[in-house]
Amino acid sequence: MTTESVAPVEVSSTTTDIPATVRRLRQTFATGRTRSVEWRKGQLRALERLMTENETAIADALDKDLGRSPFEAWLADVASTAGEAAFAAKNVGKWMKRRHRLLEMSQLPGRGWVEHEPYGTVLIIGAWNFPFALTLGPAVGAIAAGNTVVLKPSEVAPASAALMAELVPRYLDKDAIAVIEGDGAVSQELIAQGFDHLLFTGGTEIGRKVYEGAAAHLTPVTLELGGKSPVIVSADADVEVAAKRIAWTKLINSGQICIAPDYVIAEAPIRDQLVDRIRAAVQEFEAGNAAGKKIVNERHFNRLTTALAATKGQVAVGGGSDPAGLKIQPTVVVDPDPGEPLMTDEIFGPILPIVTVQSLTEAIDFVNARPKPLAAYLFTKTKAVRERVIREVPAGGMVINHLLFHFATHKLPFGGVGPSGLGAYHGKFGFEEFSHRKSVMTKPTRPDIAAFIYPPYTEKAWKLARKLF
């Protein structure tokens, strides 16, 4: 995911006493109160209320930061976060239960199970493109697991960050969950506190810096990064449906989504039809919005327009921009050079390259010649094509005949692989991500059946041990 830098600077831009805040949360954890199922359920239900009772204020903040429509604000940030919290509140008691394992003959008599133990005090560094869903969303798993939590929202979405800082202490346990605002220097100071777990959402390069900072304290990390998520459109696909779904998901939040379709690979027989249908979909979806889609800030606007100006591909749709309004028209570029910025850098905007290939094999090879993406998508009507792409294309997650929806379910893990991320969350997977899975075994003292393995070692004991072990 493209995001702002957290490069070191001399002075952190926060008035919060970070060490004191972290110390307070650690003291709360030490009391044991966050471990009870009642506390976890209560906080999760309160988080759900925070989102639903403040929908209008959240939508206003997202409009100020990102120019987000109320519907998209509700769908992407409010509904997803509230739903995640409600699902966890309903199921956390079940997730916490011990699951006994049947032990081997050599371990009997005895019982064993996995105890899901909270790490302690954890840090969540959120992203600006979905400020609530990508900050409070991961917090659901951390709270469900029984941790105390520091939330660091992105300074690139200041209205959302300020609202979060206002709402969280009103709804949630102030001594267990804290919001700390600030820039990259604040993130670095936080990482230096040596948390018990850390989750970061952002770009791959910054993710490396976060990983390096956490490594000094042996802090386990979850990294939700980004990359160039491909869409393969096979020759047998329903092109009309594919075009509408690709266009819609590329335009949500102006394409500023870590799992947005970054480029399309279309088989030659349907390429032109696909371009035409995407053009028609864009015209339908963006009627009355000729100026284009709002970009978060001038830096990202300049990055996108520079990449567009440098393309060697054919601009088949859009291409215009408005520097004063930081807006870019939804744009389709056909067959850009594989070495140009549109094809080497994560786009994170309303620009969609389409690459023409002659076969499915060529499409798969094109994807696999690049770093493993956070998401990969395929449109096809054929089971054999579907199964081949699932088998041969590595990715953090995959959706067939649609896009993005694997993020919206509580029943599947969400995360990357390789340079696109480390670890996963959502639903039970978030609970497990923020829990230490502690092995527990208990054995009786009488009768002491294993006494035969004590010294002095005999030939008879050795023979018996060989049979058991």
Supply the pTM of this predicted model: 0.93
Read off the CATH number of the domain in which 329 is found. Answer: 3.40.309.10
In whole angstroms, what is the distance from residue 178 CA to residue 111 CA?
A: 39
Q: What is the pLDDT of residue 5?
A: 41
Residue 451 within a domain: no
- Asked if residue 295 and residue 162 are part of one domain, the reply reads no
User: For residue 268, is it within any domain?
Assistant: yes
Owning domain of residue 143: 18-226+418-438
Q: What is the mean pLDDT of the chain?
A: 95
Any idea what the CATH number is for the domain that residue 76 is in? 3.40.605.10
347 occurs within a structural domain: yes
Model confidence at 9, pLDDT cuts 50, 70, 90, reads very low
Answer yes or no: do 101 and 235 share one domain.
Answer: no
Q: What pLDDT score was predicted for residue 8?
A: 36
* Pair (205, 292) in one structural domain: no
69 falls within a domain: yes
* pLDDT over 70 at 12, yes or no: no
Please name the residue that has the structure tokens 């947005």: 260
The residue annotated as part of the active site, out of 48, 84, 181, 224, is 224
Is residue 217 located within the same domain as residue 271?
no
CA proximity to 243, closest of 208, 283, 187, 191: 283
Q: Active-site residue 72, yes or no?
A: no
186: which 2 tokens? 């604040």
**pLDDT number for residue 90:** 98
Q: Are 241 and 368 contained in the same domain?
A: yes
Whether 224 sits among the annotated catalytic residues: the reply is yes
Q: Looking at the 3D structure of the chain, how many domains does it have?
A: 2
Same domain, 405 and 272: yes
Q: How far apart are CA 285 and CA 330, in angstroms?
A: 10
DSSP-based three-state secondary structure for 83 = helix
Q: Give the residue ranges of DSSP H helices in 192-334.
A: 204-215, 239-251, 268-285, 298-309
CA-based angle 137:177:60, to the nearest 5? 55
Residue 136 has pLDDT above 50, yes or no: yes
Strands 424-425 and 321-322: unpaired
For residue 3, is it within any domain? no
CB of 438 closer than 8 Å to CB of 115: yes
Strands 327-328 and 331-334: unpaired
Same structural domain for residues 146 and 249? Answer: no
Same domain flag for 122 and 252 = no
What is the rounded (10 degree) CA torsion for 50, 53, 59, 65?
A: -30
Cα separation, 366 vs 228, in Å, equals: 12
**Within a domain: residue 455?**
no
Within-domain flag for 450: no
Same domain, 115 and 245: no
Q: Looking at 5-19, 217-231, 353-367, 428-442, which range is the least confident one?
A: 5-19
The three-state secondary structure class of 160 is helix
167 found inside a domain: yes
Which of 4, 189, 258, 267 is catalytic? The answer is 258
Task: Map tokens 């939804």 to a residue.
Answer: 330
Tell me the three state secondary structure of residue 220: coil
User: Do residue 124 and residue 156 come from a single domain?
Assistant: yes
Tokens of 105: 């003959």
